[in-house]
Amino acid sequence: MRYVSTRGQTPPMAFQDAIITGLAPDGGLLVPASIPDVSAKLPEWRDLTFVELASEVMGCFIDDIPPEDLRGIVERAYATFDHPDVAPLIDLGETQVLELFHGPTLAFKDIALQFLGQLFDYTLGQRSGRLNILGATSGDTGSAAIAGVQGKGNVNIAVMFPRGRVSPLQQLQMTTIADANVHCLSIDGSFDDCQSIMKRAFADVPFKTQHNLGAVNSVNWARVLAQVVYYVYAALKCDEGDGVDVSVPTGNFGNIFAAYVARRMGVPLGRLLLGTNENNILSEFFNSGDYTRGAVHHTISPSMDIQVASNFERFLYFGFGEDGPQVANFMEQFAQAGTASVPIEILANEPITATAINTEQTLATIARVHQMHGYVLDPHTAVGVAAADLLAPPTARERPMVCIATAHPAKFPDAIRQAVPGVDARHPRLDALKAMPERLVELPATDAAVRAYMEAHLF
């Protein structure tokens, strides 16, 4: 399996090279040169555990790691989860909720980043290499990435987060880590500012090469690959013969793009429902064909407070028939003007249907689900559940509906109390953070400030 750039100007490379490279040198994102068809394998995969299935699915995309080594990487990654099923399905009657928050940081990002941390450790060990990870987070990615690599001697990690725009608990999960290889950078700007600084650093090939930069954001293909696994898992567990629909809250498009890949692999997924919050650039695109950057709105679902979705480029690559120059032209136009568009006809045959869910709808969904089922949704998961109810009302569903639960509700106690007064969402792992000292560095939202810090403190 070879990996190519969405912009078509990077020579194909093997899986491990793609993972260490992160962002392609031409500024594009790395994708498989072909998507394998696994439909014939699905019957034999149906009764596998999550760990067994992960090894099989990932093995379809990885041919430069021996199968027994890959199995060890996967087993070590998911040994950190506190549920025997890793990603349990919870039956709420008209909806199945896929809980992805049983990892070390109580968020779905652990599914991918525990795997990626083990993968980095394996590959760097094979090559006697070192890596400086530069990441940007709107909330959960930072702590999950840190948890994946903290204490590892051949990796440094610097995570940028927008000051005051992540939840207090999300910040504590990053800044209370004491390991010397962890650097938390509080940036005076938005998540999009952080992400832009990161992308420009990776696009500067001499700087990237000099400092051995690696990526843990969803620009790294391994992130998407690990997420593909849980869509295969959910489909095999819930399919009653006509496939499964899924509803996904997303800001950066990586989570739902993984479902899109799984569907292209022949996994029985029907409709892919996309829910955004008030930062609705993605829902506007899928309803109009226009992709236009707006102002970032600060909401109760902060991990989705994004106006530039980094994984969107991968979708464009397949939507444009794997035409790299066309993708490059679209992204250049967007970078220059803040807007670009495609004919709406291009989207007519795509499986993604999108809607925006506002704060009032999110809170109402948390309250309704708690009243009906005694189950507490975090505000991101509630966006996905609300999108499912709006786009595919329970009485009109043709297939089972799986809603992706992205975080433990205890990470957002203020939103939970606002939606369900008297309910105190807590987790002992989070409670323990409140008494711990923080380590962070405040920087302006400039390339120069971030790069100067990296040159002074990383390898």
CB 320 within 8 A of CB 265: no
CA end-to-end span of the chain, whole Å? 31
The amino acid occupying position 109 is K
> How far is it, in rounded angstroms, from Cα 10 to Cα 7?
8
* CA–CA distance, 207 with 457 (Å, rounded to integer): 15
| CA–CA gap between residue 278 and residue 293 (Å, rounded) | 13
- List C-alpha distances in Å: 419 to 78, 304, 365: 32, 19, 8
Residue 334 near residue 316 (C-beta atoms within 8 A)? no
Q: What is the CA radius of gyration of the chain?
A: 20
Q: Is 434 a catalytic residue?
A: no
Alpha carbons within 13 angstroms on the beta-carbon side of residue 319 total 24
Rounded CA-CA distance 329/313 in Å is 11
Q: From the candidates 109, 199, 237, 411, give the one annotated as an active-site residue.
A: 109
Provide the greatest CA pair distance for the chain: 59
Active site residues: 109
